[in-house]
Amino acid sequence: MFTQVYHIFSLSMRLEWRKKQSFIALFLYTLTTTYLSFLVFNGDVSKETWNAVFWIVMLFAAVQAAFRSFENEASRRFLLYYGLVKPQVLVLGKTLYNFIYLLSIGLFTTLIFTFLLGNEIHNLGAFMLLLFIASAGFSAILTFTAALAAKAGDNPALPAILSIPLLYPQVLTLSRTSIRALTGFSWEFNAPYLLVLLMMAGISIALSYLLFAYLWRD
């Protein structure tokens, strides 16, 4: 099963890599939005603003990125997958792929933010850990809602409408915790928040694993 998951993952990776413009478009997206916030804030950014803007940019970039994960999959390729693998394998592979994708977007966004809006990160390790957990939780929910939106037909607003309310709990907890990674992070104090974040990511992955079979079958 794990080899199959890996195959789906590497297949998605290669398919995306073949069309590099989608990666580039997304990096450009974060670059432009970050530059926009640089211009709007006129270079005067407090830690709180840095944190808030970072998670908003990250959220929208993530929605953009993951939304595409089933868009390219024409219905014929779905049929192909249907014959080859179990739906659970497919969703795990796609989630893994989105996880790597979102993580790289997150790292890139961090880089751009540090470059344009100043290095506000106090505890880099904690921030990276948060980015890691965020990518896991986001990718689980976004892969699932992307599949839902793809199945529901071409309503362009649907992916955002479906996923953003589901992501609120995570984004809220993330921004509350990561502001402390910017100011001064105490592991003991933040442990429950990290646990809640991990739990939310775990629940999301478990739900998409369980429910994807129902969603997928036509």
Q: Is 152 in the site for other proteins (CB under 8 A)?
A: yes
Q: Is 148 in the site for other proteins (CB under 8 A)?
A: yes
CB closer to other proteins, 53 vs 200: 200
Residues in region 70-99 near other proteins by CB under 8 A: none
Residues in region 187-206 near other proteins by CB under 8 A: 192-193, 196, 200, 203
Instruction: Say if CB 70 and CB 147 are below 8 A apart.
Output: yes
Q: Is 56 in the site for other proteins (CB under 8 A)?
A: no
Distance CA 90, CA 24 (A): 25
> Candidates 12-20, 50-58, 100-108, 153-161 — which segment interacts with other proteins by CB under 8 A?
153-161
Per-residue binder mask for other proteins (CB under 8 A), 155-194, x = binder: x--x--xx-xxx-xx--xx--x---------------xx-
Q: Is 116 in the site for other proteins (CB under 8 A)?
A: no
Minimum CB separation of residue 204 from other proteins in Å reads 8
**Residue selected from 28, 151, 186, 187 as contacting other proteins according to rule CB under 8 A:** 151
Minimum CB separation of residue 98 from other proteins in Å reads 16
Q: Give the dihedral sign, CA 99/123/52/118.
A: negative
CB closer to other proteins, 98 vs 110: 98
- In 3D, which of 86, 80, 81 has the Cα closest to residue 213? 86
Minimum CB separation of residue 91 from other proteins in Å reads 12
Distance CA 166, CA 160 (A): 10
Distance of CA 109 to the CA centre of its chain: 12
Q: Which residues bind other proteins (CB under 8 A)?
A: 144, 148, 151-153, 155, 158, 161-162, 164-166, 168-169, 172-173, 176, 192-193, 196, 200, 203, 207-208, 211, 214-215, 217-218
